[in-house]
């Protein structure tokens, strides 16, 4: 009765404290990780749906914690966004991805690089605008802008429409293509999408997971493909794991595919092996 209530309250608050403690510790470790550059990038190929040749790669960050090993971005990117640490981390990502891209180009693989960019990077940048950062980095690495793509999520566009539109236009004006990531999860309409300088839509993995079992997901993907085609946008299907999924998406008219069926994200040295096999004449 009364006594129990008190106990469960105590338990609850002790629990909350330990969650807060964990959160504070994570933040401290992440600050140190930024200073000591404890991050690395894995690259996942994006291929043509028809002949499966690699057209580019997506850079995906991992945190190599000295104590806990490889930590996935889902575990720390949200904290990085809340604390603003995403700005230095994001800069590190661009820097590293372009270093690796210029290496790939030097080896004769003229592929594209897609980088994930979070809302706070695009908008809250308190120093120079994000477009100037990209411009400077491209020049520093002597890479033509057409080889760089940025991926932003559909939900981000819906948060701060006006600002996003301006920032994205500045990036598009440099010649950098903009991809909409996780498309289908944010319920944006056709007319809404037209406001942004977008070149490519990435269909969210969650629909692809279920499309062969659930008619509603298959219908949704068909609608996205038709909408994309009518806006003259290219389509990437992400998270493809089986040949059946591949065939279905190819028949629908998706242009590009990405997923474990082709390759998991891999470190740069293992990527080179794949490129040699995939792109040799």
Q: Does 242 bind ligand C2E (CB under 6 A)?
A: no
Most distant CA pair in the chain, distance: 77
Q: Cα–Cα distance between 170 and 173 in angstroms, integer? A: 5
The yes or no reply on residue 87 touching ligand C2E (CB under 6 A) is no
Minimum CB separation of residue 114 from Ca ion in Å reads 7
Nearer to ligand C2E, 6 or 52 (CB): 52
Transcribe 185-234 into DSSP letters. SS---HHHHTTS---EEEEPHHHHHHTTT-HHHHHHHHHHHHHHHHTT-E
Asked if 96 interacts with ligand C2E (CB under 6 A), we say no
38 touches ligand C2E by CB under 6 A:
no
Does the footprint of ligand C2E cover residue 131 (CB under 6 A)? no
Contact mark string toward ligand C2E, 133..172, x via CB under 6 A:
----------------------------------------
Is position 119 an interface residue for ligand C2E (rule: CB under 6 A)? no
Taking CB under 6 A as the criterion, the residue among 45, 184, 257, 259 binding ligand C2E is 259
- DSSP for 144-196? -GGGEEEEEEHHHHHHSHHHHHHHHHHHHHTT-EEEEEEETSS---HHHHTTS
Residue 154 binds: one of ligand C2E, Ca ion, none (C-beta under 5 to 8 A by kind): none
Q: Give the binding site for Ca ion (CB under 5 A).
A: 116, 151, 181-182
The reply to whether 239 sits near ligand C2E by the rule CB under 6 A is yes
For ligand C2E, which residue of 4, 5, 51, 74 counts as binding (CB under 6 A)?
A: 74
Which residue's CB is nearer to Ca ion, number 149 or number 172?
A: 149
92 contacts 149 by C-beta, under 8 angstroms: no
Q: What is the DSSP letter of 136?
A: H
* Main-chain dihedrals φ then ψ at residue 91, nearest 5 degrees: -65, -40
Residue with tokens 């057409």: 146
- Our finding on whether 100 is near ligand C2E (CB under 6 A) is no
């Amino acid at each position: 009765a009364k006594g129990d209530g008190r106990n469960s309250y105590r338990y609850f608050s002790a629990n909350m404290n330990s969650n807060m403690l964990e959160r504070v510790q994570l933040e401290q470790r992440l600050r140190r990780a930024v200073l000591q550059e404890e991050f690395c990038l894995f690259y996942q190929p994006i291929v043509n749906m028809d002949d499966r040749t690699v057209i580019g790669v997506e850079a995906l960050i991992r945190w190599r914690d000295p104590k806990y090993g490889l930590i996935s971005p889902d575990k720390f990117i949200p904290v990085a966004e809340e604390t603003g640490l995403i700005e230095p981390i994001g800069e590190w990502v661009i820097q590293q991805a372009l270093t690796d891209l210029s290496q790939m180009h030097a080896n004769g693989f003229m592929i594209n690089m897609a980088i994930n960019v979070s809302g706070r990077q695009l908008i809250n940048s308190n120093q120079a605008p994000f477009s100037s950062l990209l411009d400077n980095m491209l020049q520093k690495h002597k890479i033509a802008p057409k080889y760089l793509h940025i991926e932003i999520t559909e939900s981000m566009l819906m948060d701060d429409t006006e600002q996003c539109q301006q920032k994205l236009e500045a990036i598009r004006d440099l010649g950098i293509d903009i991809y909409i990531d996780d498309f289908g999860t944010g319920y944006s309409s056709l007319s809404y999408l037209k406001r942004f300088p977008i070149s490519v839509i990435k269909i969210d993995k969650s629909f692809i997971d279920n499309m062969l079992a659930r008619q509603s997901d298959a219908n949704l993907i068909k609608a996205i493909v038709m909408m994309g085609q009518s806006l003259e946008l290219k389509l990437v299907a992400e998270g493809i794991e089986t040949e059946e999924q591949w065939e279905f998406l190819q028949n629908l008219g998706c242009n590009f595919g990405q997923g474990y069926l082709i390759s998991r994200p891999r470190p740069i040295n293992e990527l080179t092996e794949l490129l040699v096999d995939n792109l040799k004449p």
